[in-house]
Chain A
Amino acid sequence: MTPHITDDELILHFYGEAPTDAPRIDQHLAQCVDCHTNWAQLQRTLQMVDSADVAEVPVGFERVMWARIQPQLPQKTARVSWWSPKVWAPVAGLAAVIALAFISGGLWQRTGGGTTPKVNTDVADAKTVRERVLLSALGDHFEQTENLLVEIKNAPEPGGPGGKDVRRVDLSYEQQAARDLIAAGRLYRDTATRNGDMELSSVLEDLERVLVDVAGSPEHMNTQDLKSLRARIEDDSLLFKVRALTTAVREREKTLSTQSAKSVRTL
């Protein structure tokens, strides 16, 4: 039999830091009871370490931390204007695309595909890659928001036919998702507002209000809570708006991919 495996070797093996030794170690472990026992104990120990909790994060922690951090940030005096291409190329490009989608024929009427928004190719060329990254982020954002709204719309009503004998519906997962989406959405809304893209900004604001409601609602909702939340979603035809935005963004992304593929070919 090959020599025993040392503790240190086993540790590296556990963390995948000894790939070249792995076959030899595995082979030995399969044959040697002592080393196998040692290995099993190490694994159990490190799994226990995994399960160790730390202090609960206090409620409102992020807000408290921001209140402590914000006054200590060095003030930046030279504010670059919103349209400075150096800093804002990607974001401005994104906002321009969305704005264009609104101006050219109205985004809301064009959910089923067809025409794609035209953009100034000079502007688009230089920024294509970065713009695509941002479009993809915004597209994902809308898709995730849509999924969340659909989940809430379809959640089994407490005590209802789909809900069996459940009195309250657990939306804690959706609430966490809503909190993440609020933070991301604020960034996009900020961008849109500063860029004067009021229509996009107002959709994002509508979305944020509903997301805040979702995030702040009781973790276990009763029929009444759930109904009023659904009514909000339906009254503002939010789902429809979000789907339209997703489509517009995804179409624009496709256009950009084709453009960059073409420019590669001409090089």
Chain B
Amino acid sequence: MTQMQDDAAAVALARDGHEEGFRILVERHSRHVFRLACRMTGRQEDAEDVVQETFIRAFRQLGRFEARSNFSTWLYRIAYNCAIDFIRGRPHRENAEERETLEAMSESVSTPDAHDMVYAGEISERVQTALEGLSPKERAAFLMRHYHGHSIEEIGASLGMKTNATKHSIFRAVKKMRVALEPLL
């Protein structure tokens, strides 16, 4: 609750043209947006660009933010849409290569007995590869559901998708995760 009140006060400052208010919002939320953007884009440099664009868009849309709602939820929605636009705008990555990686991944792996760090790194790598095999919207839908706990209905509204399409995006994403992580189970 306190965080929400602080955010609302900072938004009020920023809206009035006091940059200090917006700086507080950047300081408080940019890390989370960065992590989200890393998952979406798969690359740190791209994620930084997404963070920058997200806050610039958020600043322009501050007038539409309703003080009663949660600032981070509102900001993440903008961030996901920014990331989707960003991925669509960047030169196409080799889809075939992604498919190969996913297939190669279902073969030999280190097991939980192996060094913990290696094992943890392997999980992260496999999750990221599975994410990259999804369309940007599918990826966003899954991440919003899984990491941010947004409901399917909210996700549909945020990404402009019908409820059924949102559900199917999540089903596809989870199936990919199962394929990618099955050897580690």
The chain A residue sitting closest to B146, CB to CB, is A49
The chain A residue sitting closest to B27, CB to CB, is A62
- In the complex, which of the residues A44, A66, A79 contacts B23, with contact meaning CB atoms closer than 8 Å? A66
The number of residue pairs between A and B whose CB atoms lie closer than 8 Å in the complex comes to 147
Interface residues of A in 22-50 (CB under 8 A from B): 41-42, 44-46, 48-50
Contact B2 A140 (CB under 8 A): yes
Known: A44-B185, A186-B24. A51 touches B120 (CB 8 A): yes
CB neighbours of A103 from chain B (8 A): none
Per-residue CB proximity of B10-35 to A under 8 Å, as 1/0? Answer: 10110111111111101110110011
Q: Does B79 contact A (CB under 8 A)?
A: no
Whole-angstrom distance between the alpha carbons of A191 and B9 in the complex?
10
Q: Does A198 contact B (CB under 8 A)?
A: no
Whole-angstrom distance between the alpha carbons of A76 and B9 in the complex?
18
Interface residues of B in 59-115 (CB under 8 A from A): 59-60
- In the complex, which of the residues B5, B52, B56, B145 contacts A133, with contact meaning CB atoms closer than 8 Å? B5
Q: Say how far A136's CB is from chain B's closest CB, in angstroms.
A: 7
Whole-angstrom distance between the alpha carbons of A88 and B15 in the complex?
11
CB neighbours of B9 from chain A (8 A): 90-91, 134, 137, 187
The chain A residue sitting closest to B26, CB to CB, is A66
Size class of the contact patch on chain B = 35 or more
Number of interface residues of A (CB under 8 A): 53
Contact B167 A12 (CB under 8 A): yes
- In the complex, which of the residues B2, B17, B51, B120 contacts A141, with contact meaning CB atoms closer than 8 Å? B2
Known: A7-B175, A74-B60, A187-B24. A15 touches B145 (CB 8 A): yes
Contact B171 A8 (CB under 8 A): yes
Could you tell me the dominant secondary structure of chain A's interface residues? helix
Contact A54 B35 (CB under 8 A): yes
Contact A61 B17 (CB under 8 A): no
Contact B124 A57 (CB under 8 A): no
- In the complex, which of the residues B5, B19, B124 contacts A70, with contact meaning CB atoms closer than 8 Å? B19
Contact B20 A190 (CB under 8 A): yes
Q: Does B151 contact A (CB under 8 A)?
A: yes
- In the complex, which of the residues B13, B24, B60, B185 contacts A41, with contact meaning CB atoms closer than 8 Å? B185
- Centre residue among B12, B52, B146 by max chain A CB count within 10 A: B12
Q: Does B162 contact A (CB under 8 A)?
A: no
Contact A61 B30 (CB under 8 A): yes
The chain A residue sitting closest to B10, CB to CB, is A187
Instruction: Given contact pairs A48-B181, A66-B23, A187-B20, enumerate 7 new A-B contacts (beta carbons under 8 Å).
Output: A49-B146, A57-B31, A62-B31, A65-B55, A72-B52, A80-B17, A187-B13
A-B contact list, 7 entries, CB within 8 Å:
A7-B171, A45-B185, A73-B59, A78-B17, A80-B17, A91-B13, A140-B2
The 5 closest A-B pairs by CB, nearest first: A76-B17, A137-B5, A52-B127, A54-B38, A140-B2
